[in-house]
Amino acid sequence: MNIKFDNDIILSMNLFSDVTSVIPRDCIHFGDKVLFVVNQGQAGLAIGRNGVKIKMLQDMLKKDVIIIEYSDDPVKLFENIIRPNKLISGYINVAGNAQDSRKIEASIEGKISNNKIKLIKMLMQRYFNIVSINIK
Task: Specify the pLDDT at position 94.
Answer: 61
Read off the DSSP letter of residue 93. E
Residue 129 lies in a domain: yes
Which has more confidence, 56 or 96? 56
Q: What is the CATH number of the domain that holds 130?
A: 3.30.300.20
Q: Is the pTM of this model over 0.75?
A: yes
Please name the residue ranges forming H helices in the chain: 7-20, 43-47, 52-61, 74-82, 114-128
Q: How far is CA 124 from CA 23, 76, 87, 130, in A?
A: 21, 11, 15, 6
Tell me: do 29 and 65 sit in the same domain.
yes
95: pLDDT confidence band, cut at 50, 70 and 90? Answer: low
| Domain range enclosing 112 | 74-135
**CA Rg, the chain, in Å?**
15
118: pLDDT confidence band, cut at 50, 70 and 90? Answer: confident
